[in-house]
Amino acid sequence: MGSIRVSGRMIYFFGALGGVLFGYDTGVISGALLFIPNDFKLTPFLQGAIVAGLLLGAMIGAALAGRLSDRLGRRRLIIIAAVVFTGGALLAALAPTVWVLIAARVIIGLAVGSAALVVPLYLSEIAPTEVRGAITSLNQLMIVCGILAAFIVNAILASSGDWRLMLGLAAVPSMVLLVGMLFMPETPRYLVHAGEEKTAHAVLEELPGDEQPEERIEEIREVDSEEEGETGLAALWRAKWVRPALLVATGLAVFQQLVGINTIIYYAPTTLTNVGFAKTSAIYANLIIGVINVGMTVIAIKIIDRVGRKPMLFAGVAGMVASLLVLGISLSALPTPHHPGDPAAIITLVCLATFIAAFAATWGPVVWVMIPEVLPLSVRGTAMGVAVFGNWAANFAVSQTFPPLLKALGPGTVFLGYAALGLLAGVFVKAFVTETKGHSLEEIEGDLQRRTGRRGERDRVPRHAAASR
């Protein structure tokens, strides 16, 4: 198979590049929304529909992608997502009416939702155990790099107001991804599951860190054979032993959005203009948030396989809740700001930046690492579809309720509400999440089977997989 003669670094780079699609279109709309009314008359409903179109498409894409990734393979689905994304981006740039623009955003969302599911799945299944956290975190790094690239494009094009070019440039990374993935291998775990063990062996020989392909294939085969026939949504409802893993994956995915991250990504320029910043100043201030987002994600990648997943989740809750509490209290207690130099305006910018720093160093990458880690192989794609659907549904709920809640309750009360949700996220992690650092995916799955009573005396997964709680 010629496509496997590629270095590990290239495989990880192109495998993660799909995150750029997620990130760019998440970030670019915040600037484009300031200029789309120059061409189209937008009611509040239509403005919300432009944002929500991507989110609705992403929910559908995530719901479909899980099952499709189990049927077609991880690599092939990434290629399909790249094609769909390219078409959607070009349609958005050329949209003659606002309804065509909304339709294009839905199409883009189909690809973004698929990529949000299959990219971390691909990376987790192809990365060596000892660096799986760092490799899977590359997806989040690509996401935040895509967001930063969108913020930079917004700033460069702010003077011209060319929102069409802002949206159309999204086709560039998707075309690079399309070409690159044509030369990338499928994951060994999917290949074994599909009965292509010779190809899986060849892939494992090319990947760094997998020095004993025969043992790894035997380990995958053993787990896969125990789950024969358990595929698709029906297995998720029938198999009680899968439910604890599905609860953890979906809970993490939902809480990642309920803490309010996209109130900042989507609405930071709007929030800053509400506290006294001019439009151009708000866009440039947003660049600071984008740079922090990337920098803290790089730090997370360096420490995730040393510190562990749960400690990072707890640290993230502490940082995000503290930022939201200070922001909420200051906006409630201080006079309404009218200038960027006013105390409440300064506190708002600082708190938005510290919130982003806490999220980017913890919940941003860790959640996308853990979701594929905790789910069983036979239903991993389908179960990830459920979790990622929950992520996008929560994203949609937060994004759509934020503006009316601001109007009805005021920003102070709203941000205090997100702080309360952050505390609930910490309780969820304490109650349900177990540590996965340092264990192979097969060990994690064996531990799940053992804890739910599915494995008996013939358990061949090492006992140390149950450690690190």
Question: Which is more confident, 146 or 450?
Answer: 146
Interval 362-421: pLDDT, tens: 998 899 888 888 887 667 777 888 888 898 889 888 877 887 887 788 888 999 999 999
Averaged confidence pLDDT in the chain: 81
Structure-model confidence comparison of residues 118 and 103, the more confident one: 103
Distance (Å, whole) CA 309 – CA 223: 24
Residue 340: DSSP 8-state:
T
Does residue 4 have a pLDDT over 80? no
Spatial CA neighbour of 35 closest among 168, 163, 167: 163
DSSP 73-108: -HHHHHHHHHHHHHHHHHHHHH-SSHHHHHHHHHHH
**Overall average pLDDT of the 336-342 stretch:** 69
| Lowest model confidence (mean pLDDT) among 29-33, 96-100, 168-172, 236-240 | 236-240
As a whole number of angstroms, the distance between CA 193 and CA 295 comes to 37
> What pLDDT is stored for residue 458 in this prediction?
36
- For 207, the token pair is 């990947």
Which has more pLDDT, 5 or 104? 104
pLDDT at 226: 55
Q: Which domains does the chain have, with CATH numbers?
A: 2-186+227-438 (1.20.1250.20)
Question: Which of the 8 DSSP states describes residue 187?
Answer: P
**3 state DSSP class of 239:** coil
Here the tokens at position 303 are 């420490």
Task: Count Cβ atoms within 10 A of the Cβ of residue 41 and give its class: 0-12 exposed, 13-18 middle, 19 or more buried.
Answer: exposed
Identify which of 469, 468, 442, 444 has the alpha carbon closest to the alpha carbon of residue 215: 442
Q: Counting beta carbons within 10 angstroms of the beta carbon of residue 339, is it exposed (0 to 12), middle (13 to 18) or buried (19 or more)?
A: exposed
Render pLDDT for 156-175 as a digit per residue (tens, 0 to 9). Answer: 888 888 999 999 999 998 99
Torsion (CA) 298, 299, 303, 309 in degrees, nearest 10:
-80
pLDDT at 321 over 90: yes
Supply the DSSP symbol for 2: G
What confidence score (pLDDT) does residue 242 get? 75
Q: Tell me the per-residue pLDDT of 227-280, one tens digit each, with 9 for 90 and over.
A: 555 555 566 666 666 778 888 899 999 999 999 887 777 767 767 777 777 777
Per-residue confidence (pLDDT) for residue 457, from 0 to 100:
36
Q: Average the pLDDT over 341-355 and give the result.
A: 85
CA distance 287 to 284: 5
Mean pLDDT of 9-29: 81
Q: What pLDDT does residue 102 have?
A: 94
Amino acid at 82: A
